[in-house]
């Protein structure tokens, strides 16, 4: 049995959702799954380390974002791509990239499957490639350097590395909101795989994010945990003990006891825009369970009288995109990856919703 959006069926309104239930669900995800995000707001500084026009149409800035608290600091880099010709405020797509720095930069150099800035800027948007592993390395023995020196893990409900990357996404939003070239109402956050988990968790907590895209985020990302194929809580917490609150391990082989499931995480996006995509051969992530989660999240959108991909939509064939109201989905043919085809389909969704 999946947990319900509301415990009390007689009180299902957008007001009660916003004032009450939404916060309860968010708290459960913090306490039991991702851990509590620190509430202190350290000072954020930025330094532009490089600025160049990298093509006839694209300007690139390399920026270091640094946070400081009690004499300690942690930094990460972002690559910001803007169209050379730009009229008016720019919508932005932020891609959280938690993979190792050289791998991430290599992707960027190859015109990145992970961040095709030419195509994004050609659509009149800015693109940000956020190298959030600067805050916390994806390594169970090394992760505690960086942001965890400012905010250590102290108890079984303390934050883990997925939360730290998500927190980095919010610091990127802070930075964007300090520059008047961006449209603060049109900020999308995206991520692939472990980055997709972080993107969803960032958007769930930070309502300045107006659109989220998770690519093949799978277990503890978009996919409902109960009944999914492939990766389970036991696998993910054993292989990546640093990703979540320590408490999450208690649900290994005991998923039914979780007070939440991932469709509720997707529901936390309502009434904002939500896009999920999967790869057809990715049984570890489980496309069917990602799609199911999205259709169940529709209930939160319906509270606002908004349309969303719901139980009336069937699981699409490979290559087909479904967009219904505020949410969308596609299933790309192939392996676990984030490809140009994924971006093309997502850019259609952006085009529909951003100016
Ligand atoms: C796998 C992990 C998945 C997914 C993936 C990735 O090893 O089990 O949950 O995050 O890595 O990030 O590529």
Per-residue pLDDT tens over the stretch 164-214: 999 999 999 999 999 999 999 999 999 999 999 999 999 999 999 999 999
Architecture of domain 14-353: 3-Layer(aba) Sandwich (3.40)
Q: What is the mean pLDDT of the chain?
A: 94
- Cα of 284 from ligand 1 centre, angstroms: 8
| Alpha carbon distance 169, 154 (integer Å) | 23
Tell me the best of 231, 242, 244 to mutate to test the pocket of ligand 1, counting ligand atoms within 8 Å of each CB and taking the most. Answer: 231
Residue 338 backbone dihedrals phi, psi, to 5 degrees: -125, 110
Tell me the best of 114, 139, 218, 335 to mutate to test the pocket of ligand 1, counting ligand atoms within 8 Å of each CB and taking the most. Answer: 218
Contact 231, 284 (CB under 8 A): yes
| Alpha carbon distance 90, 83 (integer Å) | 9
Closest atom of ligand 1 to CA, residue 236: 8
> How many Cα atoms sit within 13 Å of 268 on the Cβ side?
30
* Closest residue by CA, ligand 1 atom 9: 219
- Cis peptide leading into 271, omega within 30 of 0? yes
Predicted confidence band of residue 111 (pLDDT cuts 50, 70, 90)? very low
Closest atom of ligand 1 to CA, residue 216: 4
pLDDT at res. 108? 47
Closest atom of ligand 1 to CA, residue 219: 9
pLDDT single digits (tens) 28-66: 999 999 999 999 989 999 999 999 999 999 999 999 999
Q: What is the pTM of this model?
A: 0.97
Give the gyration radius of the chain's Cα atoms.
19
Beta-bridged to residue 287, according to DSSP, are: none
Who contacts 79 (Cβ-Cβ below 8 Å, separation ≥6)? 60, 61, 62, 63, 108, 115, 128, 129, 131
Tell me the best of 96, 132, 193 to mutate to test the pocket of ligand 1, counting ligand atoms within 8 Å of each CB and taking the most. Answer: 193
State both tokens at 188. 């999308």
- Cα of 80 from ligand 1 centre, angstroms: 26
Pocket of ligand 1 (CB under 6 A): 193-194, 218-219, 231, 236
The structural domains of the chain, with segments of one domain joined by +, span: 14-353
Query: Quick one: CA dihedral 302, 307, 311, 315, positive or negative?
Result: negative
Closest atom of ligand 1 to CA, residue 336: 13
pLDDT at res. 99? 84
- Cα of 62 from ligand 1 centre, angstroms: 28
pLDDT single digits (tens) 55-109: 999 999 999 999 999 999 999 999 999 999 988 999 999 999 998 666 655 544 4
């Amino acid at each position: 049995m999946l947990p319900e959006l509301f415990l009390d069926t007689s009180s299902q309104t957008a007001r009660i959702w916003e004032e009450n239930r939404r916060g309860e669900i968010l708290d459960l995800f913090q306490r039991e799954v991702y851990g509590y995000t620190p509430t202190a707001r350290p000072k954020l500084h930025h330094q532009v380390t490089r600025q160049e026009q990298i093509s006839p149409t694209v300007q690139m800035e390399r920026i270091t974002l640094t946070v400081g608290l009690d004499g300690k600091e942690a930094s990460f880099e972002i690559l910001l791509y803007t169209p050379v010709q730009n009229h008016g405020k720019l919508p932005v797509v932020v891609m959280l990239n938690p993979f190792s720095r050289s791998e991430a930069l290599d992707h960027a150099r190859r015109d990145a499957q992970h961040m095709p800035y030419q195509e994004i800027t050609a659509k009149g948007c800015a693109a940000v490639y956020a190298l959030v592993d600067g805050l916390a390395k994806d390594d169970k023995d090394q992760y505690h350097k960086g942001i965890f020196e400012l905010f250590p893990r102290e108890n079984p409900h303390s934050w883990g590395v997925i939360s730290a990357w998500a927190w980095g996404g919010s610091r990127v939003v802070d930075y964007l909101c300090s520059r008047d070239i961006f449209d603060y109402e049109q900020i999308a956050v995206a991520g692939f795989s472990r980055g997709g988990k972080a993107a969803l968790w960032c958007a769930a907590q930070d309502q300045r994010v107006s659109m989220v895209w998770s690519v093949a985020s799978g277990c503890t990302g978009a996919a409902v945990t109960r009944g999914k194929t492939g990766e389970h809580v036991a696998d993910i917490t054993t292989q990546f003990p640093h990703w979540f609150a320590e408490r999450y391990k208690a649900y290994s082989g005991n998923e039914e006891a979780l007070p939440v499931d991932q469709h509720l995480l997707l529901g936390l996006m309502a009434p904002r825009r939500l896009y999920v995509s999967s790869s057809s051969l990715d049984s570890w992530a489980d496309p069917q369970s990602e799609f199911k989660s999205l259709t169940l999240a529709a209930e939160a959108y319906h509270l606002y009288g908004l349309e969303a991909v719901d139980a009336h939509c069937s699981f699409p064939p490979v290559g087909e995109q479904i967009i219904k109201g505020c949410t969308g989905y596609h299933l790309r043919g192939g392996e676990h990856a984030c490809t140009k085809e994924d971006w093309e389909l997502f850019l259609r969704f952006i085009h529909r919703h951003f100016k």
